[in-house]
Amino acid sequence: MLLINNQEVEKLLDMKSCLEALEDGYDDLLKGDAVYRPRLDVWMPCDRPDGYYRWGTMEGASRKIGVFAIRMKSDIVHWPNGDTEEKYCMQPGTWCGLVMVFSVRNGEPLAIINDGLIQHMRVGACAGLGAKYLARQDAAVVGMFGSGGMARTYLEAFAEVRGIKKVKVYSPTKANREAYAREMTGKLDLEVIAVDKPEMVVRDADIVATCTDSTRTVFDEPDWLKEGAHITCVRACEMGPKVLKRCDVSLKLGKNTIEAMDEGMVRLHGNVGYIAGQPEERSRIPNPVVDNYRGDHFKYFMDFRAGKVAGRTSDKQITFFINAGTQGLQFAACAGKVYHLAKEKGLGRELPTEWFLQDIRD
């Protein structure tokens, strides 16, 4: 069994191979040879008076890739001023997220992988798939809201599937957006410029992406959009209802959470989970309205892949890819790819498999 850290993942998984792994997973899903369980959270009161403990899991498996994977994360979450969600494990600046990988052929435990880079890569790559299938073929200008990890992998994915030439980035902190512009200019050999106003991000952009940790709407000005633009998001609340209404084609990746199955389950931040605590403790958790993407005004990506619904049919259409859902399968695809590459290249630390086996039937 392998223990694989983020530094090793960085050596093994580039955006091209991440996109290929996801295509394999979705091909299997289309054939009925893949399965996933959407995200489920468990909440408990924690020591800090303005936060909560949250345990989150999602899982999936693919026959072609040959693995089952479960992603697990242990967070203390809090919401400064109710505008953004912040999280950590033990102390600010450290996080705990793991992907456990098992063989679907013989049940063997294969790997434990830090989830940090895989998390960013799989989300960015899914946005890249949305652009691959929905953005205009001549899309060359990206408008980016946000300058964190997701904004980096989103841009990498866009550059992989389209001939991107220019990027405009905005985030509230000037130093952050300028640092992003410098870094991504060097990394991707593109013209990346930091702008001072949200409108400047959207005007004349062929692809507009919201990659933020905001709990509120980031963009809801449809008049700013260029004819034929493609838009996408990270969080369900980032795009507002006016923008959604303006879109000619809206595809959602999948169901990002299970439906509430019993009275003990609640919906928080768009995800279903179980929550413990007294009423005054539960009141710490902001629960913004994120129902913009519920209803029949969007179709599902897998129905598009199956040819049941149309995608872009005109260069004049505005398309929207709602990058939410199917997370469990994404982790199986990407973590399975990392494991196979680690075995091929001799990376990762070997752990005795017998540590994870027992001679008592469970």
In a domain, 16, yes or no: yes
Query: At 335, is the secondary structure helix, strand, or coil?
Result: helix
In a domain, 272, yes or no: no
- 135 with 247, same domain: the answer is yes
pLDDT tens by residue, the chain, 362 residues:
999 999 999 999 999 999 999 999 999 999 999 999 988 999 999 999 999 999 999 999 999 999 999 999 999 999 887 778 899 999 999 999 999 999 999 999 999 999 999 999 999 999 999 999 999 999 999 999 999 999 999 999 999 999 999 999 999 999 999 999 999 999 999 999 999 999 999 999 999 999 988 878 889 999 999 999 999 998 777 888 899 999 999 999 887 666 656 666 777 766 788 899 999 998 888 875 454 555 556 899 999 999 999 999 999 999 999 998 899 999 999 999 999 999 999 999 999 999 999 999 98
- 113 with 150, same domain: the answer is no
- 215 with 80, same domain: the answer is no
Which tokens is 104 given?
Answer: 């679907």
- 238 with 148, same domain: the answer is yes
Using the Cα atoms of residue 353, residue 358, residue 361 and residue 362 in order, give the sign of their dihedral.
negative
Strands 230-233, 319-322: pairing kind: parallel
- 82 with 188, same domain: the answer is no
- Please tell me the predicted confidence (pLDDT) of residue 155: 97
Concatenated DSSP letters of 100-168: EEEETTT--EEEEEE-HHHHHHHHHHHHHHHHHHHS-TT--EEEEE--SHHHHHHHHHHHHHS---EEE
In a domain, 196, yes or no: yes
- 109 with 158, same domain: the answer is no
- 252 with 332, same domain: the answer is no
In a domain, 136, yes or no: yes
The one-letter amino acid at 190: L
- 107 with 168, same domain: the answer is no
CATH number of the domain within which 294 lies: 3.40.50.720
CATH number of the domain within which 107 lies: 3.30.1780.10
- 300 with 165, same domain: the answer is yes
In a domain, 279, yes or no: no
CA 61 vs CA 66, 186, 331, 353: distances in Å: 7, 37, 9, 21
- 180 with 309, same domain: the answer is yes
- Are 334 and 22 in contact, with CB atoms under 8 Å apart? yes
Q: Which residue has the tokens 């991504």?
A: 184
CB-neighbour burial class of residue 148 (10 A; exposed 0-12, middle 13-18, buried 19+): middle
In a domain, 124, yes or no: no
**Owning domain of residue 196:** 130-256+289-322
Helices 174-188 and 149-161: crossing angle in degrees, nearest 10, is 30
**What total of structural domains would you count in the chain?**
2
Using the Cα atoms of residue 6, residue 8, residue 9 and residue 15 in order, give the sign of their dihedral.
positive
Max intra-chain CA distance, the chain: 65
Q: Residues of 197-214 as b/e, b for ≥16 C-beta within 10 angstroms?
A: ebebbbbebbbbbbbbeb
Contacts (Cβ under 8 Å, ≥6 apart) of 176: 147, 148
- 167 with 301, same domain: the answer is yes
Cβ-based neighbour number of residue 345 at 10 Å: 11
In a domain, 361, yes or no: no
- 175 with 312, same domain: the answer is yes
Q: Residues of 22-59 as b/e, b for ≥16 C-beta within 10 angstroms?
A: bebbbebbeeeebbbebbbbebebbeeeebbbbebbbb
Separation between Cα atoms, residue 252 and residue 208, nearest integer Å: 16
Using the Cα atoms of residue 334, residue 20, residue 303 and residue 225 in order, give the sign of their dihedral.
positive
Separation between Cα atoms, residue 169 and residue 195, nearest integer Å: 6
Whether the model pTM is above 0.85: yes
The one-letter amino acid at 356: F
In a domain, 269, yes or no: no
Query: At 174, is the secondary structure helix, strand, or coil?
Result: helix
